[in-house]
Amino acid sequence: MTNKQIISALQKYKKLNEELFNYTREFYDTICYDIEGYWDTIHEIDNWFYSPWNETIDTKALQNQIKSVQKLIKGYELFSPTYG
């Protein structure tokens, strides 16, 4: 992933967290701290403005977190107990 793609992924992760918040508050703080951790890691990179962040950031883990939150949202959307 390029630096621009990482920024886009973090923005998407934040947006998904806000969408998930419509269903549950359980993960909100954890995801906020996770996003903050990614930004902290980026800013700790020597010459972070010019360096490729994917050498330090685990982009696969970030992508997996995004997919996981998408699946949680989908699960909440589909959850509709008939007699509950």
**Residue pLDDT tens, the chain, 84 long:** 999 999 999 999 999 999 999 999 999 999 999 999 999 999 999 888 889 999 999 999 999 999 999 999 999 999 988 887
pTM of the full predicted structure? Answer: 0.92
* Contact present, 8 and 23 (Cβ < 8 Å): no
The whole-number pLDDT of residue 49 equals 84
Residue 81 has what pLDDT? 87
Tokens standing for 37?
A: 């951790």
Q: Which pLDDT score is estimated for 27?
A: 97
Query: Is 28 in a helix, a strand, or coil?
Result: helix
Query: Rounded distance, CA 52 to CA 1, Å?
Result: 9
Query: String of b and e for 34-46 (b: at least 16 CB within 10 Å)?
Result: bbeebeeebeebe
What pLDDT, on a 0 to 100 scale, did the predictor assign at position 46?
A: 87
